[in-house]
């Protein structure tokens, strides 16, 4: 029996989703506690709720290994049984400025939550969310025609892209 994309399976969940996400652990530097927290939250939220489908491939669910190799962001995608579905590499250059700006605002944010007033924290957080949204939109555009994701899924994936940059 074939299902149309997005049609729930017997469990009531859409097969067009990620069921596991792994980051390349071979990068040398260990993350600081703030970055590790961001990674854990992004992966947890991503597994709990996401929309992810690979263009031209059978329905998921999928497993994702995310890494940086040869200055490319690599999505190594497997089916539920562990067979490779697709390996997609996208250039990192469109992300450089936004990730750099996002790092700087995150550092300001982490410092602010320790010492600043609530209104100062809110202002920094609004700027941080704006940059995060911009990075998510770039990611969706770069994946267009290869992988379909909704905005919330792209936001969580962009967090993981940033974590990979921090580690590298």
Q: Is 103 part of any domain?
A: yes
Return the half-sphere exposure (C-beta side, CA atoms, 13 A cut-off) of residue 126: 6
Alpha-carbon Rg for the chain in angstroms: 17
Q: Is 74 part of any domain?
A: yes
Query: In which band, very low, low, confident or very high, does the pLDDT at 49 lie, cut at 50, 70 and 90?
Result: very high
Q: Is 86 part of any domain?
A: yes
Number of domains in the chain: 1
Query: In which band, very low, low, confident or very high, does the pLDDT at 30 lie, cut at 50, 70 and 90?
Result: low
Q: Is 59 part of any domain?
A: yes
Query: In which band, very low, low, confident or very high, does the pLDDT at 163 lie, cut at 50, 70 and 90?
Result: confident
DSSP assignment of 9-30 equals: -TTSS-SSSEEEEEE----SSP
Average pLDDT for 78-99: 92
Strands (E), 24-69: 52-54, 62-69
The pLDDT of residue 103 is above 50: yes
Q: Is 7 part of any domain?
A: no
Q: Is 6 part of any domain?
A: no
Structural domain of 68: 18-167
Query: Under DSSP, is residue 103 helix (H, G, I), strand (E, B) or coil?
Result: helix
Q: Is 9 part of any domain?
A: no
CB–CB of 151/140 below 8 Å? yes
Query: In which band, very low, low, confident or very high, does the pLDDT at 31 lie, cut at 50, 70 and 90?
Result: low
Q: Is 8 part of any domain?
A: no
User: Looking at 5-14, 47-56, 87-96, 156-165, which range is the least confident one?
Assistant: 5-14
- How far, in Å, CA of 65 to CA of 93, rounded? 20
Average pLDDT, the chain: 85
- How far, in Å, CA of 37 to CA of 44, rounded? 11
């Amino acid at each position: 029996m074939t299902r149309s994309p997005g049609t729930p399976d017997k469990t009531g969940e859409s097969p067009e989703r990620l069921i596991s996400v792994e980051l390349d652990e071979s990068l040398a530097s260990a993350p600081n506690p703030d970055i590790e927290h961001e990674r854990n939250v992004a992966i947890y939220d991503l597994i709990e709720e996401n929309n992810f489908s690979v263009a031209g491939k059978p329905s998921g669910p999928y497993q994702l290994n995310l890494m940086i190799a040869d200055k490319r962001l690599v999505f190594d995608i497997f089916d539920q049984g562990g067979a490779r579905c697709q390996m997609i590499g996208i250039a990192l250059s469109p992300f450089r400025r936004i990730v750099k700006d996002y790092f700087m605002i995150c550092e300001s944010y982490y410092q602010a939550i320790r010492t600043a007033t609530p209104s100062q924290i809110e202002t920094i957080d609004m700027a941080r969310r704006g940059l995060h949204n911009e990075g998510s939109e770039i990611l969706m555009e770069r994946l267009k025609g290869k992988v379909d994701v909704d905005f919330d899924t792209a936001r969580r994936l962009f967090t993981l892209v940033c974590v990979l940059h921090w580690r590298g």
